């Protein structure tokens, strides 16, 4: 790929990822994106589309509702700065409970149940084709004959 | 401001409540808004934000200023907590649980804030996280990669796909 096409491709990737606003582009690549933009009509069209999307994204109006002072006061007065051992153990148990809640336990349990059923069925149903119950006696017989 | 913040961090580690209140005032709104955009639920987002502030109080000694900014560290904790919640079986936001509106949306609603927030919630979790952290929280791609435990290239790719999906959504609406 020629250096010119490579730089066009990189400029396109950055505009598609970061949008049309120049301040969102990395400082080190801003100038290079601007020159690529000036040289390409395709990039200009893309830039316009991203501008429309940016305007739409800017309409989002999620605001913070918590009272920071109240939260800080409540936490710093209600909790010790170093959590007690039981709190740390509680947190560890909570994490383990979360693991179970995610269903990670299902695969090992399913494998164990399948294996146990297999062993049980094998023990009950399978009949050996040869009777080896006298094997020890047989071996003594062979040795005795020698 | 940065050196001011490192001084506040040092004071909080020594149990200074006023320094802690300053850090909370500085970082709580951003963390709450981030969690709200990721979870799509105001009350869960407030729970997450308060949990993060509790970590700020109890575990600040684990923060390494040489590795990242304090806001990056806090967003990483918030991100992990949000992921835990989103991946819980049967996770449903209060917005999801609400009855559908009796009236069709007005033109203003279709192209307005409610529409963009709904479109964000429809994005896959990783695309939404990358877009919110970059576009609304103003983190660099490198910081986003750190928060998401990913690579810069992967973040760029997520952003491209997220914006592509939103453009399709916008075209469909129009």
Q: What is the pLDDT of residues B47-102, one digit of tens each?
A: 999 999 999 999 998 899 999 999 999 999 999 999 999 988 777 654 555 444 44
Tell if the CB–CB gap between B46 and A66 is shorter than 8 Å: yes
CA atoms of B94 and B39, how far apart (whole Å) = 10
| Residue A4, pLDDT score | 75
Segment B129-137 shows an average pLDDT of: 96
| Residue B32, pLDDT score | 98
B87 touches A: beta carbon within 8 Å: yes
Tell me the CA distances in angstroms from B37 to A15, A52, B40, B95, B164, one per residue in order.
23, 21, 5, 12, 19
Q: Is the pLDDT of residue A1 over 70?
A: no
B83 contacts B125 by C-beta, under 8 angstroms: yes
CA atoms of B131 and B134, how far apart (whole Å) = 5
Chain B residue numbers with beta carbons less than 8 Å from the beta carbon of A16 are 159-160, 163-164
Segment 79-98 of chain A within 8 Å of chain B by CB: 79-83, 98
B12 contacts B57 by C-beta, under 8 angstroms: yes
Chain A residue numbers with beta carbons less than 8 Å from the beta carbon of B116 are 56-57, 59-60
**pTM more than 0.95:** no
| Residue A46, pLDDT score | 94
Q: Where are the alpha helices (DSSP H) in chain A?
A: 3-18, 27-39, 41-57, 68-78, 85-101, 106-125, 135-145
Unique residue bearing structure tokens 């598609």: A16
Segment 101-140 of chain B within 8 Å of chain A by CB: 111-113, 115-117, 120, 134-136, 140
pLDDT digits (tens, 9 = 90+) for B109-119: 445 666 888 88
CA atoms of B141 and B134, how far apart (whole Å) = 7
Instruction: Give A94's pLDDT tier (boundaries 50, 70, 90).
Output: confident
CA atoms of A139 and A144, how far apart (whole Å) = 8
| Residue A101, pLDDT score | 67
Of B136, B38, B32, B138, nearest to B83 by C-alpha is B38
Q: Which of B25, B58, B116 sits opposite A68 (nearest CB)?
A: B25
CA atoms of A33 and B146, how far apart (whole Å) = 25
Unique residue bearing structure tokens 């109080």: B57
Segment A103-123 shows an average pLDDT of: 86
Tell if the CB–CB gap between B33 and A62 is shorter than 8 Å: yes
Q: Which of A19, A59, A69 sits opposite B112 (nearest CB)?
A: A59
| Residue A110, pLDDT score | 87
The residues near B118 (Cβ < 8 Å, ≥ 6 apart) are none
Q: Is the pLDDT of residue A136 over 70?
A: no
B71 touches A: beta carbon within 8 Å: no
B154 contacts B128 by C-beta, under 8 angstroms: no
Tell if the CB–CB gap between B163 and A103 is shorter than 8 Å: no
CA atoms of B147 and B73, how far apart (whole Å) = 7
Instruction: Give B19's pLDDT tier (boundaries 50, 70, 90).
Output: very high
Of B81, B108, B86, nearest to B96 by C-alpha is B86
């Amino acid at each position: 790929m020629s250096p010119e096409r490579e730089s066009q491709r990189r400029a396109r990737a950055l505009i598609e990822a970061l949008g049309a606003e120049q301040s969102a582009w990395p400082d080190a690549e801003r100038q290079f994106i601007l020159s690529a933009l000036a040289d390409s009509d395709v990039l200009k069209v893309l830039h316009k589309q991203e501008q429309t999307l940016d305007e739409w994204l800017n309409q989002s109006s999620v605001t913070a509702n918590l009272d920071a002072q109240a939260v800080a006061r409540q936490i710093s007065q209600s909790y010790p700065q170093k959590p007690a051992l039981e709190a740390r153990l509680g947190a560890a148990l909570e994490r383990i409970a979360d693991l179970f809640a995610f269903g990670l336990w299902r695969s090992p349990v399913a494998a164990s149940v399948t294996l146990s059923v297999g062993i049980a069925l094998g023990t009950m149903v399978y009949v050996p084709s040869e009777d080896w119950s006298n094997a020890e006696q047989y071996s003594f017989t062979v040795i005795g004959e020698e | 401001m940065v050196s001011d913040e490192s001084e506040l961090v040092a004071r909080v580690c020594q149990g200074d409540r006023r320094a802690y209140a300053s850090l909370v005032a500085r970082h709580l709104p951003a963390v709450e808004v981030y969690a709200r955009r990721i979870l799509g639920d105001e009350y869960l987002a407030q729970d997450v934000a308060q949990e993060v502030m509790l970590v700020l109080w109890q575990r600040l000694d684990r923060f390494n200023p040489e590795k990242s900014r304090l806001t990056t560290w806090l967003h990483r904790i918030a991100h992990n907590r949000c992921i835990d919640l989103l991946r819980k079986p049967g996770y449903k936001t209060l917005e999801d649980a609400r009855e559908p509106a009796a009236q069709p949306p007005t033109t203003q609603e279709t192209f307005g804030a409610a529409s963009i927030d709904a479109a964000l919630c429809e994005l896959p979790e990783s695309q939404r996280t990358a877009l919110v952290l970059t576009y609304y929280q103003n983190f660099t791609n490198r910081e986003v990669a750190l928060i998401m435990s990913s690579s810069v290239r992967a973040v760029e790719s997520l952003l491209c796909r997220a914006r592509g999906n939103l453009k399709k959504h916008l075209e469909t609406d129009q």
